């Protein structure tokens, strides 16, 4: 039986026979990714609809002897099923939501295990299909991104391409769910890629989202989810109303985020330590069922209730109650352990808030259009809760197909998201990732610097002078030395200050008077920032920027080992970045190199070296291969069982803390003589 890797190689060999330009192949891949994501989103939509029909129509009719009270237990059963799934596969269950796709793109080269994708198709379908009052878009994005990741892996694409297509798959699924191709494009840019814009990425997003949206329109119809009468906005003197609406929506968004964060910590630190998770989830399901028994509009996604608000066919008291219930239940479901998204609940809360806002304004004699206020409020709360201003504007615009109120929509959304971002200091998704211990800034660039340590940069000599050194001696040293910074140490050998031209210039006017009385201790600037030999370069660069300096002394085992310069740090970054780009570009070719195979590039060679007993169990940091032999590790091939969560053979970027295992393969780059020396010493 042929292995998964052999099938990959055969497919890649077959693909290489075609002489299409790279951009053509890239475009074809993007369209295929969009088609797969679109079909998956449609399947997810149909699965939720089928469950709703079976459980809330067929079951109630067939179980008439129980009565309509059956509705109460259906959400509880759904939550219990999800709890059982969590017990069966706890590690997979944790990888849920949009944040998992962000981590995959930024940290794992776009890799999402297929088991995770399958799990997070079933669990959210059960949650929403049994009345869970959450949205389908988060699971759909994870589904689209996961399938795109799997296809990228099957095709043997490089990590850089896999990242692009994983993001494109997630955006395409959003485009298909809401029938909003532009919204899907900017969802991927704003959330998945954290606004890391690149031209090839944008091309993939467009092709994938348009394809997915077209499939959605063919299979689900071309009608908008929301139905309302169009009312053109023409009275621009009322723009101030939408500024007030934006503030109102921003406050509601902020309250929702604060309440959600509070519940998250409450469940994590207290509730789930007192009672089993399955019991907590079942109780939440019963509460939803009771609420749904009296107010059926709170069950499920809630699009029908939004349409009733848009047609002004509900009382303000009922709208207020529905908004409060949705506000309370969505975080309860998600943080107790349920699966679902926040987009649809944000639209629901926004519609209810807009309805109440319009009702209040009309009741005090300020005539406003209910439909426009509700639509704008939906966008403002969607943008506020999810901190996605551009995506929110485009989603509402594409859903409404009405350009006339785009200006008030933009105004309210920007006001709302600005209030939220000023308060929480950034995106809610980045905040959640930081709570999990991830620091993702500008994609993988921050990760490159985090992987490098001060010890990986050549240290410069440091110019030390004693604190009792006289002024004439200091001046002579400054003139004769190539250094522009002197470090002053005391009798104990500890650095206590720095001296540069800036400190000397003011006293040179009175040089003749001061030359016999002033010593280094009197002139020095007392603030000294040191870094440790093992600090990462991301931390060092942030310190350099914070204090506007060009170098720091480096301490190793409580002794000054030298200094690190900004330019050396940036040179190390550029070298590592070049290496990663080279690795990305070559990963497709390297995946087909035979064991111990060799490829030559401009006088250097790339070779695969199997991990033997002498290397097994050791980390790359402890081996210090770069420092000892002057060769670079481009990639590591790790073999895994086909049915495990990882691939049978996975190509990963080198990590200093990664422990090598027997069966791994190092892909190294450097001069042939140095690589041969390395191979000889590890035999």
Report pLDDT for 647: 43
**Beta strands 495-499; 598-601: pairing state:** unpaired
**SS3 assignment, position 54:** helix
Rounded Cα distance between 488 and 522, Å, is: 11
Residue 99 CB contacts under 8 Å (≥ 6 apart), including other chains: 429, 432, 433, 436
190 and 140 within one domain: yes
Residues 411 and 498 both lie in one domain: no
DSSP state of 495: E
Q: Which two tokens stand for residue 73?
A: 């237990």
Domain membership of residue 20 (yes or no) is yes
DSSP assignment of 58-104: IHHHHTTTT-TTHHHHHHHHHHHHHHHHHHH-HHHHHS-SHHHHHHH
For residue 674, what is the DSSP state?
Answer: H
Do 146 and 257 have their domain in common?
no
- Phi, psi for residue 170 in degrees, rounded to 5: -65, -45
Distance separating alpha carbons of residues 357 and 353, to the nearest angstrom: 6
What is the structure's pLDDT at 243?
Answer: 92
The rounded distance, in Å, linking the Cα atoms of 622 and 635 is: 17
Among residues 372, 369, 377, which one has the least CA distance to residue 352?
377
Helix (H) or strand (E) holding 497: strand 495-499
| 488 part of a folded domain | yes
Half-sphere exposure of 336 (CA within 13 A, CB side): 29
Whether 578 is covered by a domain: the verdict is no
Domain CATH number, residue 646: 3.30.70.1450
Residue 216 CA to residue 251 CA, distance in Å, equals 35
Q: How far is CA 364 from CA 318, 320, 355, 430, in A?
A: 20, 18, 15, 41
Last residue of a domain, one of 511, 537, 569: 569
675 domain residue, yes or no: yes
| CA nearest to 382, candidates 391, 372, 370 | 391
Hey, how many other C-beta atoms are within 10 angstroms of the C-beta on 147? Answer: 26
The secondary structure of residue 646, as a DSSP letter, is S
Torsions phi, psi for 305 (to 5 deg): -65, -40
Q: In the 8-state DSSP scheme, what is residue 658?
A: P
Retrieve residue 17's tokens. Answer: 């026979």
State the residue for tokens 């590039």. Answer: 601
Q: Number of structural domains, the chain?
A: 4
Do 138 and 68 lie in one domain? The reply is yes
> Are residues 19 and 167 located together in one domain of the fold?
yes
How far apart are alpha carbons 605 and 305 in whole angstroms? 65
Concatenated DSSP letters of 209-250: HHHHHHHHHHHH-S--SS---------GGGHHHHHHHHHHHH
Tokens of 132: 């869970």
Closest-CA residue to 115 (of 99, 133, 91, 134): 91
The tokens of 611 are what? 């991990």
Range of the domain at 595: 591-682
Tokens of 268: 């994590």
**Helix (H, G, I), strand (E, B), or coil: what is residue 18?**
coil
pLDDT confidence of residue 322: 92
What is the CATH classification number for the domain harbouring 127? Answer: 1.10.3080.10
Same domain, 132 and 31: yes
* CA separation for the pair 86, 75 (Å, rounded): 17
pTM of the model: 0.67
According to DSSP, the residues that pair with 609 across neighbouring strands are 666
Q: Is residue 586 part of a domain?
A: no
The reply to whether 342 and 476 lie within a common domain is: no
pLDDT recorded at residue 20:
60
| Rounded-to-integer distance, Cα 361 and Cα 370, Å | 10
Q: Which of 435, 459, 486 is the last residue of a domain?
A: 435
Helices (H), 515-605: 520-523, 537-547, 566-590
Q: State which H helix or E strand residue 207 sits in.
A: helix 199-220
The token pair at 680 is: 């000889």
Q: Examine the domain organization and report whether 168 and 263 are in the same domain.
A: no
Enter the DSSP assignment of 458: P
Assess if residue 445 is contained within a domain: no
Nearest of 514, 430, 438 to residue 472 by alpha carbon: 514
* Percent of the chain whose predicted confidence (pLDDT) is above 90: 15
pLDDT beneath 70: ranges in the chain: 1-23, 57-69, 106-110, 156, 158-160, 194-200, 230-231, 426-427, 430, 432-449, 527, 545, 548, 574-604, 639-651, 653
Q: Are residues 559 and 661 in the same domain?
A: no
Is residue 285 situated within a structural domain?
no
**Residue 444: what pLDDT?**
47
Q: Please spell the DSSP secondary structure of 247-304, one letter per residue.
A: HHHHHHHHHHHHHHHHHHHHIIIIIHHHS-HHHHHHHHHHHHHHHHHH-GGGSSS-HH
Count Cβ neighbours within 10 Å for each residue of 108-143 and write b for 16 or more, e otherwise: bbbbbbebbbebbbbbbbbbbbbbbbbbbbbbbbbb
Q: Quick one: angle between helices 22-53 and 137-154, nearest 10?
A: 140
Residue 496 lies in a domain: yes
Beta bridge partners of 525: 498
What pLDDT does residue 353 have? 94
**What stretch of H or E contains 184?**
helix 181-187
Question: Is-contact 372 354, C-beta < 8 A?
Answer: no
CA-CA distance, 404 to 396, in Å (whole number)? 12
* Helices 277-294, 70-88: inter-axial angle, 10-degree rounding: 150
Residue 262: CB atoms within 10 A of its CB come to 12
Are both 527 and 648 inside the same structural domain?
A: no
DSSP 491-535: TTS-EEEEE-HHHHGGGGGGHHHHTTT-BHHHHSB-----EETT-
Domain boundary among 569, 602, 620: 569
Is residue 179 domain-shared with residue 317, that is, in the same domain? no
Q: 59 and 101 in one domain?
A: yes
């Amino acid at each position: 039986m042929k292995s998964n890797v052999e099938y990959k190689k055969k497919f890649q060999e077959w693909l290489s026979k075609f002489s299409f330009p790279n951009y053509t192949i890239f475009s074809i891949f993007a369209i295929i990714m969009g088609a797969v994501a679109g079909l998956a989103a449609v399947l997810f939509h149909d699965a939720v609809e089928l469950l709703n029909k079976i459980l809330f129509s067929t079951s109630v009719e067939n179980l008439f002897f129980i009565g309509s009270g059956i509705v109460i237990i259906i959400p509880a059963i759904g939550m219990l099923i999800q709890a059982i799934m969590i017990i069966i596969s706890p590690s997979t269950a944790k990888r849920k939501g949009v944040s998992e796709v962000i981590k995959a793109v930024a940290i794992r080269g776009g890799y999402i295990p297929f088991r995770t994708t399958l799990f997070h198709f079933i669990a959210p379908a059960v949650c929403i299909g049994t009345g869970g009052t959450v949205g389908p878009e988060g699971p759909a994005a994870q589904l689209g991104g996961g399938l795109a990741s799997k296809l990228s892996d099957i095709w043997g694409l490089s990590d850089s391409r896999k990242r692009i297509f994983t993001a494109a798959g997630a955006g395409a699924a959003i485009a298909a769910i809401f029938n909003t191709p532009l919204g899907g494009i900017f969802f991927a840019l704003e959330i998945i890629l954290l606004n890391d814009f690149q031209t090839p990425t944008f091309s993939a997003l467009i092709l994938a989202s348009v394809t997915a949206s077209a499939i959605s329109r063919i299979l689900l119809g071309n009608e908008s989810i929301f139905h309302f009468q169009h009312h053109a906005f023409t009275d621009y003197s009322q723009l101030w109303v939408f500024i007030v609406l934006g503030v109102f929506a921003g406050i509601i968004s902020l309250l929702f985020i604060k309440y959600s964060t509070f519940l998250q910590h409450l469940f994590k630190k207290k509730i789930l330590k007192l009672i089993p998770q399955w019991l907590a989830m079942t109780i939440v399901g019963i509460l939803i069922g009771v609420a749904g028994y009296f107010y059926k509009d709170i069950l499920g996604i809630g699009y029908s209730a939004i349409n009733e608000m848009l047609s002004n066919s509900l009382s303000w008291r009922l709208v207020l109650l529905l908004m409060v219930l949705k506000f309370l239940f969505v975080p309860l479901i998600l943080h107790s352990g349920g699966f679902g998204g926040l987009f649809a609940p944000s639209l629901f809360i926004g519609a209810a808030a807009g309805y109440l806002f319009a009702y209040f304004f009309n009741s005090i004699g300020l005539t406003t259009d209910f439909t426009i206020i509700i639509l704008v409020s939906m966008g403002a709360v969607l943008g506020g809760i999810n901190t996605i201003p551009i995506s929110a504007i485009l989603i509402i615009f594409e859903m409404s197909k009405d350009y006339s109120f785009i200006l008030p929509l933009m105004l309210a959304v920007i006001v709302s998201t600005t209030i939220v971002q000023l308060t929480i200091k950034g995106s809610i998704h980045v905040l959640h990732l930081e709570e999990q211990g991830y620091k993702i800034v500008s994609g993988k660039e921050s990760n490159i610097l985090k992987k490098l340590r001060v010890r990986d940069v050549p240290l410069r000599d440091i110019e030390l002078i004693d604190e009792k050194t006289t002024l004439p001696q200091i001046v002579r040293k400054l003139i004769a030395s190539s250094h522009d910074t002197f470090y002053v140490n005391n009798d104990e050998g500890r650095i206590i200050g720095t001296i540069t031209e800036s400190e000397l210039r003011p006293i040179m006017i009175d040089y003749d008077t001061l030359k016999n009385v002033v010593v280094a201790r009197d002139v020095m600037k007392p603030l000294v920032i040191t870094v440790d030999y093992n600090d990462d370069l991301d931390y060092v660069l942030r310190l350099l920027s914070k204090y506007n300096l060009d170098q720091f002394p480096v301490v190793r085992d409580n002794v000054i080992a030298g200094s690190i310069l900004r330019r050396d740090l940036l040179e190390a970054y550029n070298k590592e970045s070049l290496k990663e780009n080279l690795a990305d570009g070559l990963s497709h070719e390297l995946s087909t190199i035979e064991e111990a195979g060799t490829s030559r590039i401009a006088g250097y060679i790339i070779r695969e070296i199997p991990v033997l007993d002498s290397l097994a169990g050791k980390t790359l940091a402890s081996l210090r291969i770069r420092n000892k032999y002057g060769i670079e590790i481009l990639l590591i091939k790790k073999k895994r069982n086909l049915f495990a969560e990882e691939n049978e053979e996975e190509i990963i970027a080198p990590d200093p803390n990664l422990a090598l295992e027997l069966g791994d393969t190092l892909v190294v780059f450097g001069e042939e003589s140095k690589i041969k020396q390395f191979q000889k010493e590890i035999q």
